[in-house]
Amino acid sequence: MKAGSSSPAKIILFGEHFVVNGNSAIAMTIDLPTIVIAEYTEVENITIASKNLNLEVTFTMNGRIQRSKGVNAEHRLHPIFKMIRSLLHNDKQGLKISIDSRVPIGMGLGSSAAIAVAIISSLATLTGRTMQKDEIFQAAYSLEKQIHGRPSGIDQATVTYGGMIIYRNGKVETRYSELPKLPRIIIGNTGKRRSTGEYVGKVTQLRTDHPQEYARLSNEAQKVAGRAIFALKEGKDQELGALMNENQTLLERIGVSAPSLDNLIVAARTAGALGAKLTGGGGGGCMIALANDTNAATVAQAIQNAGGEVISSQFAKDGVKPIEWNE
């Protein structure tokens, strides 16, 4: 017997980092799928295979390696083993989990949240449970808390529910399954991998060392997010772009931008983007730019000329969902 689930990826339009301490943030899902297939096996062990990374490891139920294929495979797949282990209640049943993801890893597009929610959802189907979205989100959020310090839960919420969400204090305040009329969003990847936890840690340090300065920047960021929600509803593209630039300045002030990101952001703005900012944890990873239909191609080309990889994707209105089999 086997069961599968598919999850989208995500981008954060406004409010990353400040959302960790209770601010509002706006995020949406994009159609880069992560597909997980879970199946029972006869032998009592857990095999994890990543198709796109060409890795496969079989672990005993206690986490010892039985077989391994691919460079550094044990190290790279062990966090997923730990996640699966903490979700399993039956020690006796062998399992194979196959992952096929189009989301670049560690680039701020929610790859780990996408894998987590797709695993949770496919294991639920495999074991005959119906899990509501709220339960999937809570399970993924608590797994993420075990992995890195103080996540806000925005990645897990976005890829679970799908569409565009306004997120605050561990909750989805509003969800749009249809996109408000938006200018074009271009995603540029610096190709520089980094750890979100490290950058969340940097901001926590700043907040501890300079509480007043942090509070001032956080208030500003909350105002920007509030105005962005309004500009989105009203279809005020110019204003939305200007707010993205303001958001980027605040992210620079809390120390989470990086030369690789600044380079692509400047290139996009110079080519006529309405606005541009980093997306996600910063330090590298991805940036986004807003552009009109008329200059979207020029902005994309400028990002590429500056050394970025343009990730082509569309808005996805669905979050994680089971895959229907035709067999």
CB of 276 to ligand PMV, least distance (A): 17
Of the pair 5, 158, the CB lying nearest ligand PMV is at: 158
Of the pair 116, 136, the CB lying nearest ligand PMV is at: 116
CB of 152 to ligand PMV, least distance (A): 3
155 catalytically annotated: yes
> Exactly one of 100, 134, 155, 237 is catalytic; which is it?
155
> Cα separation of 298 and 262, whole Å?
18
| Chain residues in the site for ligand PMV (CB under 6 A) | 12, 16-17, 19-20, 108, 110, 151-152, 154-155, 196, 200, 280-281
CB of 217 to ligand PMV, least distance (A): 14
CB of 95 to ligand PMV, least distance (A): 27
Q: Please give the span between the terminal C-alpha atoms of the chain, in angstroms, as a whole number.
A: 11
Looking at the annotation, which residues are catalytic?
Answer: 155
